[in-house]
A and B are shown apart, each in its own frame.
Chain A
Amino acid sequence: MYCPLDDFMEKRDDGSIVALTRGHRVEIGKDGSVRIVSKITGELEFEK
């Protein structure tokens, strides 16, 4: 994957971030958790 572009990023009031790249959905929780989901398979590729 590549870094999300600002245009395709939403910084929510609670501090969480949702961003889409070409092939991934990136979710950063308000607690700093990170989830990266593949758009092709729908599977979770990374979680921390």
Chain B
Amino acid sequence: MITFDPLAAMKELANRLATENAGLQTQVTAFPSGSAMLDARRDGRAWVMAYSPSHGFGVDQLHPDDGFTTGFDFVSTQFEPAARRLGELTHVEFSRQAPAISLLVVQAHDIEKSKEFYGLLGLSFAAEKHGAGPRHFAAVVDGMVFEIYPCRTNLAAAPLRVGFRVGAVDPILERLRVHGARIVNEPNDSPWGRRAVVEDPDGNRVELTAPLPSQLHQP
């Protein structure tokens, strides 16, 4: 029979957090009562996970003005949720980098038409269907997932504007023109590079930009 060892689990968690977060100092202290405390600290911030056999797990961030507080912001009788909470707290605190867009979904009245349109920009789509969800197309663009979903019937028209950085604007625009796409702005040189705006089959505005030759050699 396998029995859960809270102390061993907390030690393993402490090692994992210290490995994943450079500079994070962790320490696990065990007590004769069977209780244990995992302390994590970095850059003047600190977090704690406490375990007692009678109360389970408590997780919280420490504040200098905590005063006589004895409770924990997060409590659970289970280790896993508490471990996740401590992981979230430490990761959130340490993630200073700006968020990146990871998903963009356009809704199309005819997903085949839209797939063809965006395919002319060079996007390569795969057909997908998740469970009972609708069939749709997905492409990966520079690490971001770009998807075309069928419009929901009662969805109000709300065109969006999406921009793609491409290798060269003019040849793509010619392909789109031949395809029958409405050109909103013909290609011109702008502070953002060579730029043009077209509409996709649903009226979404698609901005294409490419660096100007003079911008290619800038450091």
Contact = CB atoms under 8 A, between A and B. Distances in A.
B66 interface: yes
A39 B62 CA distance: 8
Nearest to A20: B37
Contact of B39 (A5, A6, A9, A39): A39
Interface residues of B, number: 26
Determine chain B's interface SS by DSSP, over half rule. Answer: loop
Contacts of B45: 40
A22 B70 contact: yes
A5 B35 CA distance: 11
B46 interface: yes
Contacts of A23: 46, 48, 62, 66
5 closest cross-chain pairs (CB), A and B:
A7-B35, A40-B46, A7-B52, A2-B68, A7-B33
Interface of A: 1-2, 5-11, 18, 20-23, 38-42
